[in-house]
Structure 1
Amino acid sequence: MAADRTGQIVVAFISERTGEDAEGYAIAAQAMDALAARQPGYRGIDSVSSGGVGITLSYWADEAAAVAWRNHPEHAETREAGRGRWYKWYRLHVAEIGRSYGWDRG
């Protein structure tokens, strides 16, 4: 069932990985997913990757929750590791969702 995300904050993280330390990346990604899920205001995540390019959308109740995630010490530490090891580049976009709907095949 599709979630109505109207009014939530979406953080879009688009990146290209270096291919270095795939095991370390997988461990860190799993840890960050689990850590984010425990943060106040967390509303979910969608992620896809192909050919080294990935798009991750994280959803937050409000701007304060998204900023708190950005500033979380463990997240900041992992972000620095990503800049040094796992990513060629990344882009981050933050927006409020003005309309949200979905469809599921029955």
Structure 2
Amino acid sequence: MTDRTGQIAVIFVSTRTDSDTQGYAAAAEAMDHLAAQQPGYRGVDSARGADGIGITVSWWADEASALAWRAHPDHAAIRERGRAEWYSAYEVAVAEVGRSYRWQADRDFEQNASICTPLP
């Protein structure tokens, strides 16, 4: 995990419809690829449950980068298609990360001990 302190997190919580799963998957892949090419992009984490509820967090260097991604014409077009076809609801929250840390079990450690590594 990367230290996310100071980054902007755009948190997108959505509920998917059953409509056009192939089109949705293709659009999501295209948006992931396009976002990764944008200035200030720092990564994305995403998960979706069997109930259709998903959480995607895109990470940005600063507010200007996050806003530029929101305004990107291809992203805006896909957002409109999502409203019309792929989502029954969604919510977006934008936050600046004040601190960041991680924990990881070290499975290779001889005694199978756990490691806690706080990030600076």
Q: Same fold (TM over 0.5)?
A: yes
Over the aligned positions, Cα root-mean-square deviation in angstroms equals: 0.5
Return the index of the structure with the highest Cα Rg: 2
Moved over 4 A (4+): none
The match for 2:68 is 68
Cα deviation 1:24-55 (Å, max 9, x = unaligned): 00000000000000000000000011020000
Cα deviation 1:38-78 (Å, max 9, x = unaligned): 00000000001102000000000000000000000000000
Q: What one-letter code is carried by the residue in structure 2 that aligns with 1:60?
A: W
- Quick one: higher RCO (CA 8 Å, sep 6+), 1 or 2? 1
Question: How far did 1:104 drift?
Answer: 2.0
Using the size of structure 1 for normalisation, the TM-score is 0.97
Using the size of structure 2 for normalisation, the TM-score is 0.86
Q: Does 1:97 align with 2:84?
A: no
- Residue correspondences, number: 105
Structure 2 unaligned runs (5+)? 107-120
| Identical-pair percentage | 61
Q: Does 1:56 align with 2:56?
A: yes
